[in-house]
Amino acid sequence: MRVAGDGGRAVLGEDGHRAGRAQAAPGSFKTRRPGRLDDHAMETIAAMALGCLLVGAGAMHWITPGYFRSLVPGWMPWAGPLVAVTGGLDAAAGTLVLVPGTRALGASAAALLISGYMVSHVDALVHARGDARFLDTRAGAVARIAVNAVYIAWAAALAL
């Protein structure tokens, strides 16, 4: 099949595109096939989602500090200031993840920060009670650990 306007030289392939056309440059937002995003676009989406999650979680440390204080193990001192500081660190890491030039640094910081939160989740598992709120039961503590493991892997993938 010939394409009008190009002197009759181009031939369309089975997919309706010109045969031998150039593919999108690596790292561009152009799709190779309709509906498929390239790796750079997917990484950007993952970074924006993680960055917003972290900034939002950091803000929630200050908006609802009582909830976050309840996650701090009883043997850890200064639960209130610890919650305020980690909220700031979450927001700072999230902001760094949102900026392409500091994304790897922010993602590394987020992975380390979230790894530190595992102390609280493992402590909840060790001290799980059946009559407690869901997050303090064995199933709740396992869920907290699993979700945070995914967050750590997410941040680590963006850091690499």
Q: How far apart, in whole angstroms, are the C-alpha atoms of residue 27 and residue 43?
A: 10
CB neighbour list of residue 1: distance below 8 Å, 6 or more residues apart? 11, 12
The tens place of each residue's pLDDT in the chain, 160 residues long, gives 444 554 555 555 555 554 544 455 555 555 456 677 788 999 999 999 999 999 999 999 999 999 999 999 999 999 999 999 999 999 999 999 999 999 999 999 999 999 999 999 999 999 998 888 898 899 999 999 999 999 999 999 999 9
**In the prediction, which pLDDT does 37 show?**
79
pTM, two decimal places: 0.75
Q: Which tokens belong to 4?
A: 């009008």
* 3-state secondary structure (DSSP) of residue 150: helix
If DSSP states are collapsed to H, E and C, what string results for 55-122?
HHHHHHHHHCHHHHHHHCCCCCCCHHHHHHHHHHHHHHHHHHHHCHHHHHHHHHHHHHHHHHHHHHHH
